[in-house]
Structure 1
């Protein structure tokens, strides 16, 4: 998708290591990946995944990752590199981006010359963009044994029991969390166990942004709602044609904890229920489409209220035709 007239945006101070980065945010099915691909091809740039679900392996189709043909057109990074058994976090993603920078991944052009290549960050995970542009708290490394322990405790004792433990050990944090929020409760207990300090203490100090905000351009796609609904429904039908059901079968066969983020990818539970006979396939498909529409609405709302004035909003009225 070619969009002319996009100029570098200003923004609050924040000198990071990646100069002239382009950040493209938008709700699911809004056309942001196609825009990133077009910009990367025209600028000789690279694309970095900024979407939490597209980082997981196995779910190639169901998370709408770029196709093999698209991946071959320009370098893409951080797609499908995380096993679904891992609870991938914003901090882990930021460390992976930092490693790409440290390894000089963005410093060599196709002709072999050494100069910084344009980097395009594209996705729908708002917290990733915030961490990239503003920095994030430097959380401690959690040993696998501690991760395994608290996930075992969650499975054996339940989230209510773990919340009561957190209330006893770190009441200030526990009172800020919903008693049913198993992922954040376990995370708080892991950090406390591994470091001896409250996760709130770690969250106080923010790190340095990875991008240079002065030279970056910030783009967020704000599509027409009715058009987006049509795109979502058509895309899910194509996902089914391309093997989404087989992906769900493969994921379920791994026997993973249903509370893991990858197991909560839209379409997994719905299609799993249909395979188990708890739903008809037409009903499961409709529920997955509804869940996708609701997710897109939440994303759009977050971007509308959480992204600052430096973000340029792209509408179809700007003359851009968003490809399916």
Structure 2
């Protein structure tokens, strides 16, 4: 188990609890009361820490190495029914963007999302979750196929941004993302977006236009990462915590600004602390969102989606 800096008090208490239990098992000393006291203090400490997380601490949680990624959600939700589809039929198959058909119960969905790696080798293979233009074109190809067969789309967002390399720009990174945003507003099928981790910049927006946008409690969604914002404004990463506060990137801020429709509650300690509960919660939220949308006509789906995004950023004095 890996601990973040602000989780160190939890680590100390868990180590004390394990030592106390070990002493009880190895000797005849009764440590039941001691274990109960430590366990009680551990629960209280967890509640206190996770109840008062700063925006920067939520960013750290969203990047936790044990946090589940897109394929984890799809495997847990769909099981063996998931069939991954590959390639943009133009350049190549982008490993940072995955997609395919899967079922939740008897209902088919087209799943699309960014995929990160679990270790150095797979992170390089997945390009750290940063898709190239062919990744966004693959995503659009799959979504248009879903529209053709009247299959709802579910997208999972978890990216530090679209890949900013020279080759990506040469192949039309900006155009690919802009094309996706345009085409997603016009899809005549239900589109459900789930922000499961990092939602940065155009890399997130390229698969982020939906009728219903859900966001996990400890995910973040912003035009820029706190570190990059700090480096632009203060010429240093030292102000990243201040930048995170100013960017209003948390789930609560996103709902308040009407960028996101609903917050998906995470288990105490984050999505990685109880994966099964997280998967079940996300699965139930996807099905509930689909129930809201399934009886709308194609015209209504497009109209409501367009209206939703047209109203963003409109304020009355």
**What's the TM-score, normalizing by structure 1?**
0.28
Which structure has more relative contact order (CA 8 Å, sep 6+)? It is 1
Greater fraction strand: 2
Q: What TM-score results when the alignment is normalised by the length of structure 2?
A: 0.28
Pick the structure with more helix per residue.
2
